[in-house]
Structure 1
Amino acid sequence: MPEHGDSSDSDGRVRALGLIETKGSIGVIEAADAMSKAANVEVVKLQDIGGGYITAIVSGDVGSVQASVSAGAEAAERVGELVSQHVIPRPHDDLIALYL
Structure 2
Amino acid sequence: MPQAVGAIETLGFPAVLAAADAMVKSAEVAIVYYGIAESGRLIVVVRGQVAEVQRAVESGIEAGNQTFGGEVITYFVIPNPPENIETVLPIHFTSKSEPFRIF
Same fold (TM over 0.5): yes
CA RMSD of aligned residues (A): 1.3
Shift of residue 84, structure 1, vs aligned partner:
1.2
What residue is the counterpart of 1:99 in the other structure?
Answer: 90
What residue is the counterpart of 2:32 in the other structure?
Answer: 44
> Counterparts in 2 of 1:1-80, with a 5 A limit?
9=1, 15-79=3-67, 80=70
Shift of residue 96, structure 1, vs aligned partner:
1.9
| 1:86 aligned onto 2:76 | yes
| Partner amino acid, structure 1, of 2:26 | A
**Count of residue correspondences:** 88
| Partner amino acid, structure 2, of 1:52 | G
Shift of residue 94, structure 1, vs aligned partner:
2.6
| CA distance in structure 2 between the aligned counterparts of 1:87 and 1:35, rounded to whole angstroms | 13
| Partner amino acid, structure 2, of 1:20 | I
What residue is the counterpart of 2:99 in the other structure?
Answer: none
| CA distance in structure 2 between the aligned counterparts of 1:85 and 1:58, rounded to whole angstroms | 11
Give the match's secondary structure for 1:21.
strand
Gaps spanning 5+ residues in structure 1: where?
1-8
Gaps spanning 5+ residues in structure 2: where?
92-103
Deviations 1:25-75 (A, max 9, x none): 111100000000000000111121121111110000000000000000000
